[in-house]
Homo-oligomer: A and B are copies of this chain.
C-alpha cells in the first residue's frame, strides 16, 4: 500500500495543529508541495482518519457548508468563530460542560456529545471595523 498521501495529509494537519483545514485547503497545500492528489484521495484519507479517530470533522458556517478537519486532540473543546475573518479559537469551559449535563438530565437525556459554536467578531476585526468607520465619516 502506498503511504505517501496519508503521510502528506497527516503532516499538513499537524502543521495546522489547532486550526481547521478544509479538504480544498489540503488539496491546495499538497499542490504547492508538489504532491498533487485528487480530491477523492484527500476525502478518502480524511475519512479513514476520521473513522480511526485521528481526525475530527466540523461543519461551521451554516451557509457555505463545507467541512473542515482538525487533528483529534482527544480533549473535547468548543469553538469561537470570527464571522469576519474566519479565525477559530478553541476553548473548554468547565461551568458550561457541567451545566450541560444538568440540562440533559432534566430533559431526560443521556448526554453523549455536544457541539457549541459561538460566532462573533474577533478583536482584530473589531479594530478594523472601527478604523473603517472613522474613515468613512
Residue numbers of A with Cβ under 8 A of B are: 57-59, 62, 65, 80, 82-83, 89, 91, 93, 95-96, 99-100, 103-104, 107-123, 126
- A114 contacts which chain B residues (CB < 8 A)? 116-119
Partner of A80, one of B107, B116, B122: B107
**Copies assembled:** 2
A80, B93: Cα distance in complex, Å:
19
Say whether A109 contacts B121, CB under 8 Å: yes
Say whether B109 contacts A120, CB under 8 Å: yes
In the complex formed, the residue of B with least CB distance to A62 is B59
Say whether B100 contacts A96, CB under 8 Å: yes
User: How close is A23's CB to chain B, nearest CB, in angstroms?
Assistant: 14
User: How close is A105's CB to chain B, nearest CB, in angstroms?
Assistant: 10
